[in-house]
């Protein structure tokens, strides 16, 4: 416990800010760092579970991609099942509680995962880029750009 005194405004702000803690054994690995403004501007209480899960997954994907060399792309393995791997080509959410992943399996078949946030458990993996691709694709950059420049569309 510290002796720091917070104003009522600081206490209210701290009550709605997301908290995160990471300990990583690899000395070269970098934690996520401070959350970008586009994540913290809207209070967590006003986000659906799907929107909040989507935003945080984007941060993890982007940070993971920063560790990849030019010959690898991000993919995800499905934890807790024999569903396999999906090379991530897109991601979305459907309020209040669905997150979607779009991509291809290792054989190149078009794949989409629709998952309830209560079941969300993914493993990010590095896969070699497709041989025919001139360079590895980085979906994390596109996802962050979308968060920064748009508001969710209602259908």
pLDDT > 50? residue 126: yes
The 3-state DSSP class for residue 13 equals: helix
In contact, 87 and 125? CB cutoff 8 Å? no
Taking the C-alpha atoms of residue 95 and residue 11, their distance in angstroms, rounded to an integer, is 29
Radius of gyration in angstroms for the set of CA atoms belonging to the chain, rounded to a whole number: 18
Q: Is the pLDDT of residue 155 over 50?
A: no
Question: pLDDT for 2-28, tens place per residue?
Answer: 566 656 655 554 455 566 656 666 667
**First and final CA of the chain: distance in angstroms?**
48
* Residue among 28, 46, 65 at smallest CA distance from 144: 65
| Domain boundaries, given as residue ranges, for the chain | 46-149
* Residue 33 CB partners (closer than 8 Å, separation 6+): none
Rounded to two decimals, what is the model's pTM? 0.67
Q: What is the pLDDT of residues 55-101, one digit of tens each?
A: 888 888 888 888 889 999 888 887 666 668 888 888 888 888 998 88
Per DSSP bridges, beta strands 122-128 and 85-94 are: unpaired
Residue 42 phi, psi dihedral angles, 5° rounding:
-90, 125
């Amino acid at each position: 416990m510290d002796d720091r005194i917070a104003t009522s405004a600081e206490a209210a702000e701290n009550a709605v800010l997301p908290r995160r803690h990471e300990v990583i054994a690899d000395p070269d690995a970098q934690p996520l760092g401070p959350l970008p403004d586009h994540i913290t501007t809207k209070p967590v209480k006003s986000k659906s579970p799907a929107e909040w899960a989507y935003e945080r997954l984007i941060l993890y994907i982007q940070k993971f991609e920063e560790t990849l060399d030019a010959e690898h792309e991000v993919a995800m393995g499905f934890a807790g099942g024999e569903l396999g791997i999906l090379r991530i080509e897109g991601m979305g959410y459907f309020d209040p509680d669905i997150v979607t992943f779009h991509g291809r399996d290792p054989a190149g078949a078009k794949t989409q995962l629709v998952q309830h946030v209560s079941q969300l458990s993914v493993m990010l993996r590095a896969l070699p880029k497709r041989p025919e691709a001139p360079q590895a694709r980085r979906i994390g950059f596109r996802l962050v750009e979308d968060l920064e420049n748009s508001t969710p569309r209602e259908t």
